[in-house]
Structure 1
Amino acid sequence: MPIVNECAVADCAYNRDHTCHALAITIGDVDHAHCDTFLDSPSKGGDSAATGHVGACKAAECRHNRQLECHAPAITVGYQENNVDCLTYAPA
């Protein structure tokens, strides 16, 4: 599974020091490549010893997506306007 190389969404419960600590995140739906795992919370969660990975990607029109799995070497998550998105998303 590709790693979440960087997460710029400091208010996410899984983010500590720009690093995602969810064991696996889900990206997107059929219309948008947002981070489905994003949780705006002051409480921190995840495994502080782990680096997040992409478990599933529902953005089927992304060039890195094969059979709803991400095949990018790594991804970056951050803000695209007001949305928490996969910034590695690239239309096929």
Structure 2
Amino acid sequence: MREGGKRSVTMPKSMVQIQRCDVEQCSYNKNKECHTMAITVGGPQDPCPSCDTYVAIGQKAGVPDVQGAVGACKVSACQFNESLECSAQNIVVGLHDGHPDCQTYRKR
């Protein structure tokens, strides 16, 4: 038990991996692989399932031996969204109208 009498919960599910990222100008991208621990897909005002973790600062970032994964999905209209968690087998991130989007998104 944790402090305060609350139980800790073991997560039975692993995070959904980013199979490929075609947004090569992102600082976390190396050889079409994402190297951040986790991305957030979508935001409160986003009409698209955009990668909210995208950053292009002119230098490489992330952890070289880490394959990126989906930490949270805020796109409630996606069929893979279950309680803000992604349930897809894996995802692909690519450019859409000049910004990075989750290409695996499927409307409910």
**Number of aligned positions between the proteins:** 92
Highest CA radius of gyration, 1 or 2?
2
* Aligned residue among 72, 79, 95 for 1:56: 72
Structure 1 length normalisation: TM-score? Answer: 0.96
- Residue 8 of structure 2: aligned partner: none
SS in 2 for 1:11: coil
Structure 2 length normalisation: TM-score? Answer: 0.82
Distance 2:88 2:31 in 1: 23
* Aligned residue among 50, 56, 68 for 1:40: 56
Higher relative contact order (CA 8 A, sep 6+): 1
Q: CA deviation at 1:26?
A: 0.4
Listed as ranges, the gaps of 5+ residues in structure 1 are: none
SS in 2 for 1:39: coil
For residues 24-67 of structure 1, the C-alpha deviation after alignment (integer angstroms, 9 at most, x for no partner) is: 00000243200000001211111000100000000011000000
Q: CA deviation at 1:69?
A: 0.4
Moved over 3 A (4+): none
Q: Give identity over the alignment, percent.
A: 39
- Residue 93 of structure 2: aligned partner: 77
